[in-house]
Structure 1
Amino acid sequence: MAQTFEQTEETRRGRPNIMESASVFTENPTHQRGILTKPITAKPTRATIGPTGEQHSARERRVTLENRHGFPIVEDDIFWSRELEDALPKGFSEVEADAWMDRTRKSQVTSMHWATWRTCGQGKNKYVRLTDGSTVCARYRHPFTLQIQDQILSDPEWSSWAAWAVNTETHVFNVKSDTCTSFVLPKGELYSYYLGRLLGIDHVPPVVLAVVNGTAPLWLRVGPLLPQMQWEQGVLVALIRWIDGLQRGKMPVPLLEGEVSGQDRRLLAMGELQLQELVQWSDLIILDYITANSDRVASNQDAADLNNDPVQMRKYIHNLQKSQHNGAIWLIDNESGLIDGYMLLKERKNGGRFTRFHRTMLEKMCLFRRSTVKRVEELYSLGTGAAEFLLRTVADHEPLAGLLPAVPPRIHLDRTLADRIAHVYNRIRHCMLANMSSMY
């Protein structure tokens, strides 16, 4: 399936909707057009990137897999059924998320508690309660220290990037101490949330930025406590909505065993809740691939690879939580996505390994939410403009986004984001063509 990941001019210009062309061509590994296959007759309506609304049109559909009770599982060979999408536990709509952000910015912190592994992680993070009774995780990363491998420091390209960081006074990298500092990680958390939002994935907790200031309205009640909490004035923190009633989650067995596709007979033996979990994982895989998140599934893959121990993949997945109430999967702690994730891909020692981890997971899924595919198509059509669109979306919604340093040029955000969106687009296209070949 190398053709799925071949980088072509598709990342630099818009293409038609995956399912909109009058006919579909089979691609060879060099992306040259091959044999013309029969056209797809059922076409989904085109969606625009914006507030998630009703995703289903009145068009006819073709149910291609249903269980013995007549419950539809797959339609048009590569899409989860309308019934499964409608039955998914709901996350935060954009309206709900925006309302929460507005309330949080206008609220006051009434208490701060040290973080634990069960509440907001480690380090100087805090579990914070607001005047309306809601709680947030305050992610504090100053001065976050990440030791840089010797081979990275010896890389001329990394040295030039480090010099840029120091010269522009962003304090992202300190050559003398060989450390990365705090601003990269809040940016990854923020950007990952808004990318998930653009994809219509509503189970990423909303996030807002705040500046630590003991005399500002937000912190006024706890101002005297800030030194005791080892927080410094003027530091930028990410406030992330806390979700109650969560427990750790594992990877579904079908994904451990191999690819999940529209022809997978294992789906027939699954209950509705098991199927809903797989539907949510199809979104997880797409988001984590595009953001190159290194601290969720890739964390388990890393442990399995380093220890030559496949059992690691059957353990709890890092930064994945499952609701005890309705089975919703929440993708938490996304600070290792996008900026930090893209930096890791450029690393000489581990970049290739994590590229392989992400690719392995993307190749495990050949079933997708129709609504997610529409969003991928729209982002893909923007080409390298997808990065500008993401940055503009963040700036429009987050008043403090301007306090974040510029994106390090070393990661080539526009090209890297466009390429990874294109990889997902091509994966969907590959699955479509593979299922078509079994039909005719």
Structure 2
Amino acid sequence: MRAEWLSFFLALLGRVSPCIPSPRANRTESWSCSLSCAPSVSTLDPYRVKEVVRVKRRVGASVKTLAVARQWSEWRERVGGVRVVRLEAGCGRNSNRLATLEDGSRACVRYGVDQDQVLGETLCFHLAMLLGIPNVPPLALTKPDPSSQQWSAVRDSIEALRWSPDAIVSLTQWVPNATRVSIPAQLRKHMGAGVRPVSHVPWTSENMTSGDLSELMQWTDLILFDYLTANFDRVANHLFNLQWDRRAMDRATNNLLRTTEGHLVFIDNEAGLVHGYRVLDRWEHFHKALLNSTCVFRGLTVQRLMELKRSRSAAQCLRQVYRAREPLAQELGFLSEAQLVTLQNRVDMLCGHVQQCSTGT
């Protein structure tokens, strides 16, 4: 399982390069948001942080994207058909369980307090796939029906948990041997400092190791992703806690793990999108403070965001891939029209921030 997760991650992450794109970066080819026509991966030539770079397409990276799509489909197909043979405590909330499958692999079963949490978790995964962010574990939806072949072996456990057989639950890939992680000091000291002109960005490829740069890009992907989804149950929560705990930023980050290979894993995204948008007014100050802490980004993430802005297609693409990949999508539901407007607005705001970084204004 560990090897499988590493293969999945490396295939999608590809080569990491920092990016502060010019306004021309949004003039990329249009791409279909359908599963069969996934956007090509683009990478950026190495550069000094002060410089503006051009996006270049690479066939090899596109092949990697298709490989990841196949791996994701294979994992989903296996999980959808294999029997659950054991349920035990784990995976956060008491209502969740760590499942052992018949083939020996494991998965987190997330039984939300309400279906909005399951919907938020699910949509966050599909949005991460759209953006080419590989840090969110693969996910599939199912129903824990003890009369079905998949769940019959754990009937007693389901009844003891009082799970409804009609509830929709998410199965997410278990990441073994992962540890908790704190915000890097280099990034932490800039959180909330405001937008910095390019010439003042303190991080350059010259003074960072490849490992340091890779981790920084993952952290800035996390900041962009949590801003887009308005997920308050991760780094934003630490900023909130500074009101009474001055060491809050030093503590392990909520819902974030690091694998033994050093890759960050964004887990428990159920606060994103649905609930996050519902309480946005209360948390927006913290989301903006985190976003304003960085002007260094991964090239692929920026390119995808710019295309969603140019085409005005964030809602359309998310709906399309979600319904194409999830047979239970119609029953679980989708975002409201107001929430879809919020999603596109936040895509626009992220692109505005990136462009502001590139001009130094």
TM-score bracket relative to the smaller structure:
0.7 to 0.9
- Could you tell me which of 202, 207, 230 is aligned with 1:292? 230
| Aligned positions of 1:118-137 closer than 5 A | 120-137=91-108
Contact 1:79/1:367 (8 A) holds in 2: no
Deviation at 1:192, TM superposition (A): 0.3
For 1:286, the aligned partner's letter is L
Deviation at 1:76, TM superposition (A): 3.3
Q: Hey, what's the Cα distance between the residues in 2 that align with 1:20 and 1:364? A: 21
Q: Does 1:416 align with 2:342?
A: yes
For 1:336, the aligned partner's letter is A
Deviation at 1:372, TM superposition (A): 1.1
For 2:330, the aligned partner's letter is G
* Unaligned segments of structure 1, at least 5 residues: 1-17, 22-41, 66-73, 145-181, 346-350
Q: Hey, what's the Cα distance between the residues in 1 that align with 2:170 and 2:219? A: 26
- CA 1:216 to 1:280, structure 2 compared with 1: closer, same or farther past 3 Å? same
Deviation at 1:254, TM superposition (A): 1.9
- CA 1:81 to 1:313, structure 2 compared with 1: closer, same or farther past 3 Å? farther
Q: Hey, what's the Cα distance between the residues in 2 that align with 1:243 and 1:121? A: 14
Q: Hey, what's the Cα distance between the residues in 1 that align with 2:183 and 2:53? A: 21
Deviation at 1:408, TM superposition (A): 4.5
| Aligned positions of 1:4-19 closer than 5 A | 19=22
For 1:122, the aligned partner's letter is R
Who is 2:253 aligned against?
Answer: 317
Q: Hey, what's the Cα distance between the residues in 1 that align with 2:240 and 2:150? A: 39
3-state SS in 2 of match to 1:233 = coil
Q: Hey, what's the Cα distance between the residues in 1 that align with 2:213 and 2:310? A: 30
Q: Hey, what's the Cα distance between the residues in 2 that align with 1:269 and 1:223? A: 56
* Unaligned segments of structure 2, at least 5 residues: 1-20
Q: Hey, what's the Cα distance between the residues in 2 that align with 1:43 and 1:403? A: 35
Q: Hey, what's the Cα distance between the residues in 2 that align with 1:215 and 1:43? A: 51
Deviation at 1:205, TM superposition (A): 0.5
Who is 1:103 aligned against?
Answer: 78
CA offsets 1:110-129 (integer angstroms, 9 cap, x no match): 111122xxxx0022101001
Who is 2:150 aligned against?
Answer: 218
Q: Hey, what's the Cα distance between the residues in 1 that align with 2:176 and 2:216? A: 22
Who is 2:8 aligned against?
Answer: none
Contact 1:321/1:329 (8 A) holds in 2: yes
Deviation at 1:215, TM superposition (A): 1.1
- CA 1:76 to 1:95, structure 2 compared with 1: closer, same or farther past 3 Å? farther
Who is 1:332 aligned against?
Answer: 267
CA offsets 1:88-143 (integer angstroms, 9 cap, x no match): xx9x922211210111111110111122xxxx0022101001112111110112xx
Q: Does 1:230 align with 2:217?
A: no
For 2:68, the aligned partner's letter is S
Q: Hey, what's the Cα distance between the residues in 1 that align with 2:331 and 2:27? A: 41
3-state SS in 1 of match to 2:148 = coil
- Could you tell me which of 290, 305, 309 is aligned with 1:380? 309
The higher relative CO (CA closer than 8 Å, separation ≥ 6) is in 2
Deviation at 1:416, TM superposition (A): 0.3
Q: Does 1:428 align with 2:360?
A: no
Who is 1:51 aligned against?
Answer: 38
Contact 1:80/1:369 (8 A) holds in 2: no
For 2:354, the aligned partner's letter is I
TM score, norm. by length of structure 1? 0.68
For 1:244, the aligned partner's letter is P
Deviation at 1:19, TM superposition (A): 4.0
TM score, norm. by length of structure 2? 0.82
The two structures, once aligned, show a CA RMSD in angstroms of 2.8
In percent, how many aligned pairs have the same letter?
A: 28
Contact 2:84/2:101 (8 A) holds in 1: yes
Deviation at 1:229, TM superposition (A): 3.0
- Could you tell me which of 326, 329, 339 is aligned with 1:398? 326
3-state SS in 1 of match to 2:80 = helix
Who is 1:274 aligned against?
Answer: 212
Number of residue pairs matched by the alignment:
324
- CA 1:132 to 1:280, structure 2 compared with 1: closer, same or farther past 3 Å? same
Q: Hey, what's the Cα distance between the residues in 2 that align with 1:400 and 1:109? A: 19
- CA 1:123 to 1:261, structure 2 compared with 1: closer, same or farther past 3 Å? farther
Who is 1:242 aligned against?
Answer: 174
3-state SS in 2 of match to 1:318 = strand
Q: Hey, what's the Cα distance between the residues in 2 that align with 1:135 and 1:108? A: 11
Contact 1:108/1:219 (8 A) holds in 2: yes
Deviation at 1:430, TM superposition (A): 0.4
Q: Hey, what's the Cα distance between the residues in 1 that align with 2:267 and 2:240? A: 19
3-state SS in 2 of match to 1:319 = strand
Q: Hey, what's the Cα distance between the residues in 2 that align with 1:294 and 1:54? A: 29
